[in-house]
Amino acid sequence: MTTRRFRLWLALLSLIACALTATASGESEKVLYTFTGVSDGSSPTSLTADSKGNLYGTTTGGGNLSCNSGCGTVFELTPVQGGGWSKTTLYQFTGGSDGSAPLGTISLDIAGDLYGTTYSGGDATCQCGVVFELSPTGSGWNEATLYTFTGANGWGPNSGIILDANGNLYGTTIGGGVNNYGTVFELSFTVGLWKETFLYSFSGLNNADGESPAAGLTFDTLGNLYGTTLVGGDPSCNPSVGCGTVFELISSSGTWNEKVLYSFKGGVTAAFLSVVSSWIELETYTGRRRVTTLLAATALFSS
């Protein structure tokens, strides 16, 4: 598992770099904040905006230096009257039971609490990541680890989580599960504890349903879930690896059934568009609607 996790981690880092260098022509850039790479964090991922225009995000590194390059942070950027932005570090991960290396998008509930995942940390043996919550208090923010992955129940939650109207949390892990090819999971709060339910465990290349869901999920109006896998799918594409899929999970009488909507065939960056899509989730302070469609990403990179 260690070799496979390392291979996927390298692919993720290289694709993040490529995605961040792709800019649309005719648009101007304004730097809101420059990270120093120390206590304020390094390698920020994506942003989420609240109703007041504040931005929330994570950095994969920096912060507490008990991890090699820092354990990562959660931060807030607040617009300042008259211009400019004020940056506040809300939490520094320690690399222990609270996790390390948060990669995914932050989600907010109606009370203003923040939810996210870390790719690693948590269980001392597995270092397989956690789901966390940050709640505002009178003196700052309180961090609570809601769920710890241990390998068999998933490892490496690379993306953030989404919430339904009942406060249940949904996300993906890049590995683990029944077949160790990744999972889609739900966390529900029951009798004072968060309980994980496997909605789907991917089977890998031989069953063509995909492998290693790296990007996040999105709902439709019926409550069905949509997502992507990093690899797997069509066995004729990049043999022994596959080029990834777009999938749908449909809920029927308490059971979730997976349907592959598309298996990528290869070509320009198609094998890894599922990763890139997680950084094309645009929910900016200007109020534009979040975009989480892999097909849009395909058009962008294949034109």
Alpha-carbon distances, residue 6 vs 35, 104, 156, 175, 270 (angstroms): 26, 18, 11, 12, 21
Please, where are the H alpha helices in the chain?
A: 2-21, 273-277, 294-302
pLDDT, average across residues 86-101 = 97
| Tokens read off for 2 | 């260690």
Of 31-40, 190-199, 203-212, 283-292, minimum mean pLDDT range: 283-292
The pLDDT confidence band at residue 28, using thresholds 50, 70 and 90, is confident
Which has more pLDDT, 224 or 254? 224
Contact 88, 38 (CB under 8 A): no
Contact 89, 62 (CB under 8 A): no
| Tokens read off for 245 | 């899929």
Q: What is the pLDDT of residue 239?
A: 77
C-alpha to C-alpha distance for 193 and 147, rounded to whole angstroms: 9
pLDDT at 108 over 70: yes
Spatial neighbors of 261 by CB under 8 A, at least 6 apart, are 226, 245, 246, 247, 248
pLDDT at 282 over 90: no
Q: What is the pLDDT of residue 238?
A: 79
| Tokens read off for 160 | 């953030």
User: How many domains does the structure of the chain reveal?
Assistant: 1
Which of 246, 245, 141, 227 lies closest to 184, judged by CA? 227
State pLDDT tens for residues 167-222. Answer: 999 999 999 999 999 999 999 998 889 999 999 999 976 778 999 999 999 999 99
| Tokens read off for 43 | 């390698």
C-alpha to C-alpha distance for 15 and 119, rounded to whole angstroms: 16
Mean pLDDT score of the chain: 83
| Tokens read off for 45 | 């991922």
State pLDDT tens for residues 264-274. Answer: 988 654 444 44
| Tokens read off for 59 | 């950095």
Q: What is the pLDDT of residue 288?
A: 29
| Tokens read off for 212 | 């290693």
Where in the sequence is the domain holding 263, given as residue range(s)? 2-23+32-302
C-alpha to C-alpha distance for 25 and 144, rounded to whole angstroms: 42
pLDDT, average across residues 123-138 = 96
C-alpha of 215 from chain center:
6
The pLDDT confidence band at residue 55, using thresholds 50, 70 and 90, is very high
pLDDT at 253 over 90: no
Nearest 10 degrees: Cα torsion 25, 48, 279, 27: 0
The CATH number that applies at residue 48 is 2.120.10
Which of 109, 167, 164, 106 lies closest to 131, judged by CA? 106
C-alpha to C-alpha distance for 231 and 245, rounded to whole angstroms: 7
pLDDT, average across residues 104-118 = 96
| Tokens read off for 126 | 């597995």
pTM for the predicted model, two decimal places: 0.80
pLDDT, average across residues 106-120 = 96
